[in-house]
Every structure is written in C-alpha cells, then in structure tokens.
Chain A
Amino acid sequence: MNLFKKKNYIPLGKTAQYNRHARAEEDYSDSPIIPNGLWVKCRHCSSTIYKKEMDEFQICPKCGGHFRIGARDRLNITCDEGSFEEFDADMTAKNPMGYPDYEKVLEKAREKSGLKDGVVTGKCTIGGYKAIIAVMDSNFMMGSMGSVVGEKITRAIEKSTEMKLPMIIFTTSGGARMQEGIISLMQMAKTSAAVRKHSDAGLLYVSVITDPTTGGVSASFANLGDIILAEPKSILGFAGRRVIEGTINEKLPPDFQSAEFQMEHGFVDKIVDRRNMKSTLVTILKLHCPKEVD
C-alpha cells in the first residue's frame, strides 16, 4: 500500500477551467475526480482507495467521504431503472466570443467526461413519481455554465412547468463559463427567470448541492430551490476561498462554505448522505405529489 501513497501514482485530472468566483483548480488538487487509474485518493481522509472497493455510490470505504460522481452514474443511482428519457442529448456549444482554441478545450472536455457539455437533463420516475431531472457534471470543464448548460436547464425547467412536474437539479459548477463571455452571465438571469415561472405555477423545485457548487450557479438556480439538500462536506459558495482570503487578508477556517457551514448559516435545508438521497427525494415527492400511474 505504501507504494501507492506516492503522489505520482494518482493521476488526478488537471483542468484549467475555473473563474474568479470559483475556487481555483489548485484548491482541488487532492480532489476525488476519479481518473482512469485503478487507485484514487480520498480528499477527506487521504487514504488511497482501490477503485473496485467502492460501490455505485462512490463513497470512501474508510471514512464515508463522498467522491465526486459523474452525471450518468448519478442518474443510475437516482432514477428508477430504465425510466430516464434524455432531453436535448445532442446540444453542443458554439464559440460566441471567438475565444481562441475553445473548440479544442471542448473536445478535451468531451473526451474526459464522455459528455457533450456540463449537464444531462431529462424525464424520469423516482420511486414511481414522475419528475424532470437535471444533473451537472464537474468532469466537463468544472461544470461551468455556458449557453448549453443554461439552455438545457432552462428548457428542462420550462418542460416541468408545462407538464406540471416537480423539478430536481443536482448542481456542481465552478461558475460561469469564461470562454463564452457575457452570454454565460446571461444564463444566470435566464435560468432564474425560468425557476420563477415554475415557482409561480405552484410547482416543487428541489435543488441538491453537490461538490462544488460555486460562482454563477450558486448565484442563480442552485440557491433557489423550495427545498435545498446538500451532500455532506460539499462546497457551496459564491466567491472562491483564495479570492476571499486575498481580500480580507486572513486564513479561512477549513469548513468554510461546506454544506455543514451553510446549514448552520441557514442556507441548506438538510444534509443527506448519498446512500439516502433517493429515499429522501422519494419522501419529498410523496409529500408533494399525488402518485401517478401510467
């Protein structure tokens, strides 16, 4: 085992996409993005874990710490088997600002994540209850929100308004996608307005905070759920830790912006272990919706 404690045996993903509001990627250098290697390091207890020791929940067998989980894997542990029908599966980004090499950056992100962009949306049932679901994925450019993420999430919310269904969004994002410039910023207003319409229609929106949810996504739909759940120790915050430390000239406590910190400050309804997430969602849906049978 000692052999594997050497840092260079852990091929952690190196993504260069982050923004002023997001925590810089360096802050996550020990982050549990599961690479193609067989071994991963737990960010919470620093143990080196043999990947096959972990089940579909991707939780550290040593300390129970939650690893980051991709959108497809998340859908598998959340939706009833075979119930997920994807929306807008083929939507891809353009280059509105003419950012040099954006196409190359996107191509790399597609390879790394196996996704077309940072969110997967669709219709499903959860414990038999119909819902519209959106799951963001930090493997795609840190889940940054550009036109595709903003449009897919807006369409999903509009669809749930139209179909009078509850909306569930699993958030993870470094913030606005810098490479798309001001158009990315506009996605915050666009998604928030869609949430407003959904809310005015008397419908339920559950937002589930997963690690990390920062910047523009924290300042739009992530913080607008009727009910806000969070995975243990996930980061929820607007400004990045280093930006704040640089501004106030002091070191922040280690739990700053953690889900536990946010619950203590009144911004999270409940912290839910990933293994209990589906049953918690089912209970919430049960208390809000009459059960429909096809």
Chain B
Amino acid sequence: MSRASEILFNSRKVSRPSSLDCIEKIFDDFLEFHGDRCFADDCAMVGGIASLDGMPVTVVGIQKGHTVAENVSRRFGSPNPDGYRKVIRLMKQAEKFHRPIVEFINTSGAYPGKGAEERGQGEAIARCLFESAGIKTPIISIFIGEGGSGGALAMAAGDRVWMLENGMYAVLSPEGFASILWRDPSRSSEAAELMKITATDLLANGVIEKIIPEAPEGIENNVEYTTDFIKKDLIEEFKVLCAKPIDELLKERYERFRKFGEFEE
C-alpha cells in the first residue's frame, strides 16, 4: 500500500477520535447548542461554547460515529444544509461576543440527499464561505480525519488550517476521482497518490499550515497525545491571532486563499 492509500485508510477508521472526543479532551465547560434557527438541528454537525484554558471559545465540528448505529444517526458525518447554517449561526454568535472559533472537520462530503438539495446545500456552503471571509474573530480549522470537497472546505475557510498526521483533504474522494476521470474505481490508490491528499503534500502547497502528530501506538490508543498538542497549539496561535487588529486579520485571511491558482498569461 502506498503512503497515500495508507493515510486514506487511516483517516476513515471508525476508531479515530471524533469531533466530540477531541472537544471533550481539549476544552472545559463545553455546552452543546443545537439548531440553525431555520429548519432543523443537524445531527452530523455539533457546536457550542467552551473554555480553552480559561478563554471562552466557540467550537463546531462535523461528527462521525464509532459504531454503525451511531454513524447512521450522524449520517456518517455528511452534513445537511442545516448543519452549515448552524455553523454560520454559531460563528456570528462568536463574532458578537468576541470569541475565537475552532472548527473540526471529518467528512467525506456534504450529504447528497433530496432534502439537502431542497433546502439549498449549495447555498448553505456558499454562505458559509462568504461569512467565513468576513467574520471579525479568529478562526482555526483542524482536519481530524477525512476531508472531502466543498462540504469540508466550508469549514476550512478561516485563518489557519491544521491537519492530523493521518488526516486527508481532497477535491473529492480518490474513488470518485478514479471512477469519474478513468471510469475505473479500482484505480483509487493510484488516484490517492496523484491527488496529493496527505498532510505532508498539503503543507508543501500551502493548503495547511501545520501537521499535528499522532501517537506511534496509533491515535485510537492514545488520543491525549494528539489533543495535548492541539490544545497547546490553539492557545499559542490564538494569542498571536487575537493580538492582530481585525483589519489585518481579515486582510491576511483574504490573502491566504487569494494566492491559490497556477496559470500562465
């Protein structure tokens, strides 16, 4: 198995810590809040407020389950538009109360359902990107497992994007890529290699700023090893980001995404 295929496999393990597992280890006083104030409470998206070493923060995350039953109830971590609208609502609340925002990402993509389309999946993701570009408080996103397409990007449009050692992020799943471009899903491992989905590749091309290590014995056997790093890094990074004047923060956030593109003219 190539390194990319191995990481793809690891990123999807049901034993990996979920967003709620990470939240529980990193923050104190987590209060989960529900609903988008429009239509529903999306079970694939969790969010609320908590304390990061004494500092109030807003936390949101895409939630997968550890068992089949839990995964079914969480729609396998594929949010509906209501989930993205919950994120927007909590981001605006964070802005109002000057709380930094932490976003955990773990999804193969936004849910491709009938109701999701009826309620504007595209609009919800677009609005999340639009709002993220202007929210006047620091945003740090962390890929803890899978990161697939626009449904992941919606939550990775802030000031810093980090990734666990065995996380991945791609424009679509390597299986989807292989079946669409080559009409051959069995070539997914070749696609995974080509697509540069690993944290190392993404760090090299500037899509992420930091790789967070996982314990040698496997993350599922030592979650604290990783969450201790996350906690320490969040505390340090928010010190830097919160010290910046808002205009500068937003300007740098704009530049962060403005730079992507390779073309000739």
How does the 8 Å CB contact mask read for B105-130 relative to A, with 1 for contact and 0 for none? Answer: 00001111110111111110111011
Nearest A residue (CB) for B120: A267
Residues of A within 8 A of B154 (CB): 219
Pairwise interchain contact B181-A221, C-beta atoms closer than 8 A: no
With A178-B177, A257-B117 already in contact, the answer to whether A192 and B265 are too (CB < 8 A) is no
Bound-state CA distance A187–B260 (Å) is 7
User: B125, B172, B264: which contacts A238 (Cβ < 8 A)?
Assistant: B125
For the complex formed, measure the closest distance between the CB of B36 and the CB atoms of chain A, giving whole angstroms.
15
Pairwise interchain contact B129-A192, C-beta atoms closer than 8 A: yes
Pairwise interchain contact B149-A96, C-beta atoms closer than 8 A: no
User: B120, B122, B149, B153: which contacts A189 (Cβ < 8 A)?
Assistant: B153
With A195-B130, A221-B126 already in contact, the answer to whether A238 and B113 are too (CB < 8 A) is no
Pairwise interchain contact B121-A238, C-beta atoms closer than 8 A: yes
With A178-B172, A238-B110 already in contact, the answer to whether A220 and B265 are too (CB < 8 A) is no
Bound-state CA distance A18–B260 (Å) is 22
Residues of A within 8 A of B123 (CB): 218, 223, 267
Pairwise interchain contact A196-B112, C-beta atoms closer than 8 A: no
B residues at A contact (CB < 8 Å): 109-114, 116-123, 125-127, 129-130, 132-134, 149-150, 153-154, 156-157, 169-173, 176-177, 180-181, 194-197, 202, 205, 207, 253-254, 257-258, 260-265
Nearest B residue (CB) for A239: B112
Residues of A within 8 A of B113 (CB): 239, 244, 247-248
Pairwise interchain contact B150-A247, C-beta atoms closer than 8 A: no
Bound-state CA distance A224–B123 (Å) is 7
For the complex formed, measure the closest distance between the CB of A57 and the CB atoms of chain B, giving whole angstroms.
27
Q: Can you report 19 A-B residue pairs in the complex whose CB atoms are below 8 A from each other? A: A93-B262, A147-B261, A178-B172, A182-B171, A182-B202, A188-B153, A190-B257, A192-B130, A192-B133, A193-B129, A197-B133, A218-B122, A218-B126, A220-B126, A221-B126, A223-B126, A239-B112, A239-B116, A247-B111
User: A16, A187, A222, A256: which contacts B122 (Cβ < 8 A)?
Assistant: A222
Residues of B within 8 A of A219 (CB): 110, 121-122, 125-126, 129, 150, 154
Comparing A78-86, A148-156, A274-282, the segment that makes contact with chain B is: A148-156
Task: For the A-B complex with A176-B171, A252-B114 known, give 17 more contacts whose Cβ atoms are closer than 8 Å.
Answer: A91-B263, A93-B262, A94-B262, A99-B194, A151-B263, A181-B194, A183-B205, A189-B257, A190-B258, A192-B126, A193-B130, A219-B126, A222-B122, A238-B112, A238-B117, A256-B114, A265-B118
Residues of B within 8 A of A266 (CB): 120
Bound-state CA distance A214–B126 (Å) is 12
Pairwise interchain contact B196-A182, C-beta atoms closer than 8 A: yes
Nearest B residue (CB) for A147: B261
Bound-state CA distance A18–B176 (Å) is 11
How does the 8 Å CB contact mask read for A193-230 relative to B, with 1 for contact and 0 for none? Answer: 10111011000000000000011101111111000000
Pairwise interchain contact A239-B129, C-beta atoms closer than 8 A: no
Q: A56: CB under 8 A from chain B?
A: no
With A223-B122, A223-B123 already in contact, the answer to whether A190 and B260 are too (CB < 8 A) is yes
CB within 8 Å of B: which A155-172 residues: none
Pairwise interchain contact A189-B157, C-beta atoms closer than 8 A: yes
In the A-B complex, the 3 residue pairs with the closest CB atoms: A239-B112, A218-B122, A186-B260
Residues of A within 8 A of B111 (CB): 247
Bound-state CA distance A190–B207 (Å) is 12
Q: A20: CB under 8 A from chain B?
A: yes
With A151-B263, A188-B129, A221-B126 already in contact, the answer to whether A21 and B258 are too (CB < 8 A) is no
Q: A65: CB under 8 A from chain B?
A: no
With A19-B176, A20-B173, A221-B126 already in contact, the answer to whether A193 and B133 are too (CB < 8 A) is yes
